[in-house]
Amino acid sequence: MFGSLGRNELHVDDEVNSTYMHDLYLSVTSLLHTNYVCVDHDSVGLQHPDQQPKHAAFVETRLEEKFSEYKIHINGDANPSVAGSGKYFEGEKEEFKNEEWKERMETWKTRQEKRGLVTKSGDGGHDKDDDDDFLIAEARQPLWRKVPIPSRLINPYRIVIVVRFIILCFFFHFRILTPAYDAYPLWVISVICEIWFGLSWILDQFPKWCPINRETYLDRLSLRFEREGEPDRLAPVDFFVSTVDPLKEPPIITANTVLSILSVDYPTEKVSCYVSDDGASMLLFDTLSETSEFARRWVPFCKKYNVEPRAPEFYFSEKIDYLKDKVQPTFVKDRRAMKREYEEFKVRINALVAKAQKKPEEGWVYLGSEGALDIEGKELPKLVYVSREKRPGYLHHKKAGAMNALVRVSAVLTNAPFILNLDCDHYLNNSKAVREAMCFLMDPQIGKKLCYVQFPQRFDGIDRHDRYANRNVVFFDINMKGLDGIQGPVYVGTGCVFNRQALYGYDPPASEKRPKMTCDCWPNWCCCCCGRSRKPKAKKKGLKSLLGLGGLYSKKKKMMGKQYTRKSSGPAFDLEEIEEGLEGYDELEKSSLMSQKNFEKRFGMSPVFVASTLKEDGGLPESTNSTSLVKEAIHVISCGYEEKTEWGKEIGWIYGSITEDILTGFKMHCRGWRSVYCSPKRPAFKGSAPINLSDRLHQVLRWALGSVEIFLSRHCPLWYGYGGKLKWLERLAYINTIVYPFTSIALLAYCTLPAVCLLTGKFIVPTLNNLASIWFIALFLSIIATGILELRWSGVSIEDWWRNEQFWVIGGVSAHLFAVFQGLLKVLAGVDTNFTVTSKTADDNEFGELYLFKWTTLLIPPTTLIILNMVGVVAGVSEAINNGYGSWGPLFGKLFFAFWVIVHLYPFLKGLMGRQNRTPTIVVLWSILLASIFSLVWVRIDPFLPKQTGPILKQCGVEC
Ligand SMILES: O=c1ccn([C@@H]2O[C@H](COP(=O)(O)OP(=O)(O)O[C@H]3O[C@H](CO)[C@@H](O)[C@H](O)[C@H]3O)[C@@H](O)[C@H]2O)c(=O)[nH]1
Ligand SMILES: [Mn+2]
């Protein structure tokens, strides 16, 4: 099956994939525990011809060191080796000033530290029971707390919102009732635009009505689930990493992400890392095998010295004094050695990259199966490489398809109850991130109702001024916190820990007498609407019985011991084999009359997978055979697997939009799930973002296009899911995320108006009387006031806010506009949308990217606008000069609007200039052409009114 890989592309994107017969049928390569298993359908090792000796090296991937204990560090002083964790407990310090408590925690702490190295028996002495009582009491405390925004900050904000709303009503009253008769079309256009802006303001504003913050208590989590002398009870987590193109997503970046996962501060046996390679690239495969080798040294180093972040590239490039807190004598030496090793590792990866670019003619072949070892041992997290099958003629659904393939593979191989999904460039910046999520997901009260815990996206390597608002601070620190107070943040595609059950399309468990969890600052009637539930759907329990194992249960016993042989394309297991997986489900359910067919219709033809979905707390059936599991894993990633199933429709990541993230989260919220926003002080994950103008615009274009796709699909939040489970404010927010691209049309018109006004001498507002001017000024002030108060409760800086405003205009008049048309084209003409992956740079050349200029049609509309407005300013001013001082008054309003446009587009202008002030001639030509055509049209033809001798004279009423 791997025989002809040599003639395949090594760097394939989605397009290429579907045009080529995908020779790399698939390979599930598990660096499972202690060994490196490479398997295809016939359970053989996958190897390069020239790499045979290396295979032996993979076999022992065991960690030299045991998982180092999670350390509680209440006072941030004692042990320098755990100083890194000290700062996470600041919130606790105040609560436990009490000396006795401190002392006991110290005892407990030292005991915890000894654990694993020293045998615990006899340790503790006479006060052990007292201690335990105290700790048990502490462990019973909540794992997290909602921190409301202080009312002195939030109440004025709310008042101003209401006031602004009222002013807006009066404003529209005035605008609609007093047309500017001398410029009627201009007036109509501007009023329509203003109404649209007003509506989109409402969509954006009201979901921010009751923002909240959250605080977690990691020490209590540990006390509760990691009891001394008992097995650790933290829930297992499957990590998903998605990659597609090894050229745009350099392997070293993915390697860093993987290393940060493997060294996460979490019980090792509970961590598994699945890497999805949509490009089927041998390069990534090799990189991962190198990475697993390097992890043998990197992981113990991280755990020993508690370093952060645990992605070596970013750790070693941190410009901090690493000697400061680390007084351990061996640290400096170890760090130096580690750094050297990492450099060597990088050299090896670069060699792989260079080699792969040469595309060896002899091709990659597969070798025999000696290397495929058993799944055993528990010291290093599992690392599984998955390249799903792709063939021409099949829809692969981009990232969503890749994620669904991982959901099934992981269900078969590890079946952790929680799934953490990351883009290949988003590394774990805070090794305790998973614990943060567990504070919510393992909470006995709300845990079961949560579909996911979303972390904010934070970025590295962004220019200091964040010219193109890459950080998205306003969204992550204002909007998401607002949503958290309603039904939960939207899913943003990365840095999100899912409840596996929620991905299976189930409804959340019915709420019986559970403490009210949602926004308690909003009047109750808002929450009433979510209490009504109706849809009698195939519920969890129903599904369990659907499997109809009752009959098979007894039959199975007779068939025990029989050697099952499997058709190569069929499922690897028969139902009988998975009976173990269902032990613990009562006979009643098992004896249901429903047929297995219904289950297969939903989840596909894999009984193993189906059985795994029934295990609410995850885990594999007791007596499973690793070889057959791997075979089953391969079966569930075959490209025909999802045919005639509900994958992508109701289950897993939802298909139909290139912003699969919004859609997936939306479906969950519609089912009544809640999500939680968690932003620990130390950012949990960090990624990279496109910092040059063209790439950024293309990224925004893709997002907007995804929104338009949702808008035009059956999942449009305007019409979909009126079952009463989606709260209405949450719905407003979702509507906002899918209609925003349409604002671009209004924005384009509104940005053209000032120029038109200046060139024609007309204005969108008739001469103002005193009352009208008051509404104008009041509106203006209320806009400023909401802005300021919003910044105050959220802590966002004014610069970030301003960048956001600017990019709203820049993106609006370029990317969003194109997205609207492309989206319509897609629906009307069936032109497909493609997922243009953003390139991630791995080089050290700082911000060189920022000035990179790539020509794209997206640049034309903003360039035209900016020139048009500048021309308008010049024309307006020169006309006013000609006409004397009296005409300066009306001119002021127009100039103000023109400047508003220019100032918003300013970063765009900068980007256009590049570093060397070189703008490609084509852009200049196009824009000057368009701008002059427009100017001529307006000045000469003057379509709005019959020619007048002096509109300005008429306005000011003074004869000059
Ligand atoms: O066919 C594909 C295309 C993309 N990807 C992966 O999707 C991720 C996101 O791609 P990127 O180009 O980095 O997009 P961004 O705009 O930076 O990503 C944001 O927006 C996307 C939706 O457009 C979400 O999927 C991402 O999670 C979110 O971080 C990357 O890991 C890719 O490897 C695939 O696995 N298969
Ligand atoms: Mn990205």
- pLDDT digits over 592-626, tens only? 435 577 888 889 988 899 989 988 888 887 777 77
Dist. CA 731 → ligand 2 center (Å): 26
- Cα distance between residue 954 and residue 959, in whole Å: 9
CB 640 within 8 A of CB 394: yes
- The residue type of 17 is N
Q: Whose CA is nearest to atom 16 of ligand 1?
A: 699
3-state secondary structure of 369: coil
Cα-Cα-Cα-Cα torsion 469, 457, 286, 7, nearest 10 degrees, comes to: -50
Q: Which of 423, 661, 695, 800 is catalytic?
A: 661
CB 496 within 8 A of CB 239: no
Q: Which of 309, 310, 301, 308 lies closest to 331 in space, CA to CA?
A: 301
User: Helices marked H in 529-594 — which ranges?
Assistant: 540-546, 549-559, 579-582, 587-590
Q: Which of 751, 807, 701 lies closest to 474 in space, CA to CA?
A: 807
Q: Is the CB of 242 under 6 A from ligand 1?
A: yes
> What crossing angle do the helices spanning 693-711 and 906-913 adopt, rounded to 10°?
130
- Cα distance between residue 888 and residue 882, in whole Å: 11
Q: Is the CB of 494 under 6 A from ligand 1?
A: yes
Alpha carbon of residue 381 to chain centroid: 23
- Cα distance between residue 379 and residue 61, in whole Å: 9
Q: Is the CB of 706 under 6 A from ligand 1?
A: yes
Q: Whose CA is nearest to atom 9 of ligand 1?
A: 423
Q: Which of 131, 245, 278, 484 is catalytic?
A: 278
Question: Position of tokens 């950012």?
Answer: 683
Residues in CB range of 722: below 8 A, 6 or more apart: none
- For residue 386, the ligand closest to its alpha carbon is 1
Alpha carbon of residue 518 to chain centroid: 23
- Taken in order 852, 856, 858, 861, the sign of the CA dihedral is positive
User: Percentage of the chain surpassing pLDDT 90?
Assistant: 42
Q: What is the number of residues in the chain?
A: 960
Q: Whose CA is nearest to atom 33 of ligand 1?
A: 243
Q: Is the CB of 472 under 6 A from ligand 1?
A: no
- The residue type of 812 is G
Q: Which two tokens stand for residue 49?
A: 């011809």
Q: What share of the chain is helix, strand, coil (3-state, %, to 5)?
A: 55, 5, 40
Q: Which of 225, 229, 175, 228 lies closest to 198 in space, CA to CA?
A: 175
What tens digit of pLDDT does each residue of 687-735 get? 999 888 889 999 999 999 999 999 999 999 999 989 889 999 999 999 9
Residue 661: active-site member: yes
User: Helices marked H in 379-499 — which ranges?
Assistant: 398-413, 433-441, 473-474, 480-484
pLDDT of residue 134: 77
Q: Is the CB of 493 under 6 A from ligand 1?
A: yes
Query: Which of 399, 421, 833, 838 for a ligand 1 pocket mutation test, highest count of atoms within 8 Å of Cβ?
Result: 399
3-state secondary structure of 452: strand
Residue 146: its H or E element: strand 144-148
Q: Is the CB of 600 under 6 A from ligand 1?
A: no
Query: Which of 423, 425, 491, 709 for a ligand 1 pocket mutation test, highest count of atoms within 8 Å of Cβ?
Result: 423
Give the number of other CB atoms < 10 A from CB of residue 768. Answer: 14
- Cα distance between residue 453 and residue 489, in whole Å: 8
702 Cα nearest atom in ligand 1: 23
Q: Is the CB of 253 under 6 A from ligand 1?
A: no
**φ, ψ at 418 (rounded to 5°):** -125, 150
Question: Position of tokens 């075959």?
Answer: 638
Query: Which of 385, 688, 837, 840 for a ligand 1 pocket mutation test, highest count of atoms within 8 Å of Cβ?
Result: 837
699 Cα nearest atom in ligand 1: 16
Q: Is the CB of 291 under 6 A from ligand 1?
A: no
Query: Which of 242, 281, 841 for a ligand 1 pocket mutation test, highest count of atoms within 8 Å of Cβ?
Result: 242
- The residue type of 218 is L
Q: Is the CB of 835 under 6 A from ligand 1?
A: yes
- Cα distance between residue 929 and residue 920, in whole Å: 14
Q: Is the CB of 454 under 6 A from ligand 1?
A: no
Q: Which two tokens stand for residue 546?
A: 């659907």
Dist. CA 211 → ligand 1 center (Å): 28
Q: Is the CB of 278 under 6 A from ligand 1?
A: yes
Q: Whose CA is nearest to atom 22 of ligand 1?
A: 659
Residue 278: active-site member: yes
pLDDT-flagged residues of the chain (< 70): 1-130, 322-327, 358-379, 511-595, 768, 842-849, 851, 884-887, 914-922, 925, 936-960
Q: What Å distances lie between residue 220 and 97, 138, 142, 224, 405, CA to CA? A: 17, 7, 8, 6, 35
- Cα distance between residue 708 and residue 715, in whole Å: 11
CB 424 within 8 A of CB 628: no
243 Cα nearest atom in ligand 1: 33
Q: Whose CA is nearest to atom 25 of ligand 1?
A: 493
Dist. CA 422 → ligand 1 center (Å): 9
Cis peptide before 236 (omega within 30 of 0): no
Q: Which of 139, 82, 84 lies closest to 113 in space, CA to CA?
A: 82
- Cα distance between residue 313 and residue 160, in whole Å: 46
Question: Position of tokens 């009260």?
Answer: 445
- For residue 460, the ligand closest to its alpha carbon is 2
- For residue 399, the ligand closest to its alpha carbon is 1
Dist. CA 685 → ligand 2 center (Å): 12
Dist. CA 695 → ligand 2 center (Å): 11
Q: Is the CB of 436 under 6 A from ligand 1?
A: no
Q: Is the CB of 277 under 6 A from ligand 1?
A: no
Give the number of other CB atoms < 10 A from CB of residue 359. Answer: 14
Query: Which of 12, 13, 240, 244 for a ligand 1 pocket mutation test, highest count of atoms within 8 Å of Cβ?
Result: 244
- Cα distance between residue 450 and residue 440, in whole Å: 8
pLDDT of residue 775: 87
Q: Is the CB of 254 under 6 A from ligand 1?
A: no
Alpha carbon of residue 885 to chain centroid: 56
836 Cα nearest atom in ligand 1: 12
Per-residue buried b or exposed e for 128-156, using 16+ beta carbons within 10 Å of the residue's own CB: eeebeebbeebbeeebbeeeebeeebbee
**What's the pTM value of the predicted model, to 2 decimals?**
0.78
- The residue type of 90 is E
pLDDT of residue 282: 85
Dist. CA 427 → ligand 2 center (Å): 11
Q: Is the CB of 400 under 6 A from ligand 1?
A: no
Beta strands of 278-335 (E only): which ranges?
Answer: none
